[in-house]
Amino acid sequence: MNTFETIEQSFDDVEWCKECKHFEFKRPHPQIVCTCSVLVVLRQSDGTACVVCSERPDNYGTSVTLGVVDIRDAVIAALELQGPLLWFEHYPTGTDTWIDSYTVNQVLFNAHGWPGHDARISWHSAAKICNLAPEVLAWGYHDELG
């Protein structure tokens, strides 16, 4: 069962911040359990949920990129999210097979709910998109803030 824990830290314009360090999803074969880490920050000003889905180094199943729709739907259901959604995929250093450092990409969902991946950006750029402090979005990965 995916359990989210509240992060007890005060940030500007944050109603709440929750994380699930071992979020399980199944795709495309139900017998293969895939894992990622999920951070959800709900903005106080407008109810927008800013989500960071991080690949785990011990995930031997489907990547967060290929499982994004299943993960999104499960996160929305688990936290009963109803407002706008800003979604980011994060590959910590050592988990992206193409790049030696960390990567963050914004995922944009079309009107039918299918994902499109934008260019790689920094934590600071992701924070600017969310209008939040980079320290909240990069929770647990502060070494990547540079």
How does pLDDT run across 8-44, given as a tens digit for each residue? 999 999 999 999 999 998 766 667 789 999 999 999 9
Nearest to 40 by CA among 1, 91, 74: 74
pLDDT at 27: 66
Arithmetic mean of pLDDT, 128-143: 96
Give the model's pLDDT for residue 115.
Answer: 96
Q: Is the peptide bond before 92 cis (omega within 30 degrees of 0)?
A: no
SS3 at position 65? coil
d(CA 104, CA 82): 24
Dump strand ranges (E) for the chain.
5-6, 14-26, 33-43, 49-55, 85-91, 103-109, 115-121
Structural domain total, the chain = 1
Q: Residue 45's CB: how many other CB atoms inside 10 A?
A: 10
Range of the domain at 111: 5-144
Q: Give the single-character DSSP code of 71.
A: H
